[in-house]
Amino acid sequence: MARRAGTGRRVALAALLAGGALTFAACGGGGKQNEGDPTGTFKVDVPRASFPGKQRLAQESTLEITVVNRDSRTIPKLAVTVDGFSQRHDDPSLANPNRPIWIVNQTPFDADSVLTNTWSFGPVGPGQSHTFKWTVTPVRSGTYSVRYQVAAGLYGKAKVVDTATGGAPTGSFIARVSRKPRPVHID
């Protein structure tokens, strides 16, 4: 029996295309991205939020935010969004218009970075707390504002209310980064 030239290549190409089609079908299929996101309104307190107001270039600093669940229900997905670690420069010659002010050295323990500026922890039971802690290093001098907002989910279906203010649990810090780098000691 004579075999046609190129039959093996056609079979391999057909298998490759079929695999690619299956992979493509798996991406983007299914429900909405926010389908499993929690709903409802949850009560929280933010008893501690700190970030040094005076910093130096190349000197590590810590941003720390503690959130307490004051609701009678478990918050299914506690999240914190932080804005201000970078600045946007609208310059068409830049490949990425976001320019860092701080480099994030360490992200919060047991939290997932789900968006570019949001970290999600997971469930927090009634009366329980979780502390989000970032270790950062400033790379630009100047005066900057760092803002945070606490959420009970990633897509806005669940709300959180600060028991102290009755509003959304948000806050901000003004940080002045000195041009003088941290002192170096040589032993």
**More confident call, 181 vs 151:** 151
Which pLDDT value is given to residue 35?
Answer: 63
Q: Which two three-digit tokens encode residue 187?
A: 């032993």
Which pLDDT value is given to residue 124?
Answer: 96
When pLDDT is averaged across residues 159-176 and rounded to a whole number, the result is 96
Q: How confident is the model at residue 119 (pLDDT cuts 50, 70, 90)?
A: very high
**More confident call, 125 vs 13:** 125
When pLDDT is averaged across residues 17-23 and rounded to a whole number, the result is 47
Q: How confident is the model at residue 185 (pLDDT cuts 50, 70, 90)?
A: confident
pLDDT over 80 (residue 33): no
Give the Å distances, CA to CA, from 136 to 68, 102, 173.
24, 6, 14
Q: Which SS3 state, helix, strand or coil, does residue 33 take?
A: coil
Neighbours of 89 (CB within 10 A): 11
Please work out, in degrees rounded to the nearest 5, the angle formed at the alpha carbon of residue 154 by the alpha carbons of 134 and 25: 115
User: Average model confidence (pLDDT) for the chain?
Assistant: 85
Q: Is residue 60 a contact partner of residue 182, using CB atoms and an 8 Å limit?
A: no
Which pLDDT value is given to residue 147?
Answer: 98
Q: Does domain 40-178 have CATH number 3.40.630.10?
A: no
pLDDT over 80 (residue 2): no
pLDDT over 60 (residue 81): yes
Residue in the structure block whose two tokens are 């490759």: 16
pLDDT over 90 (residue 114): no
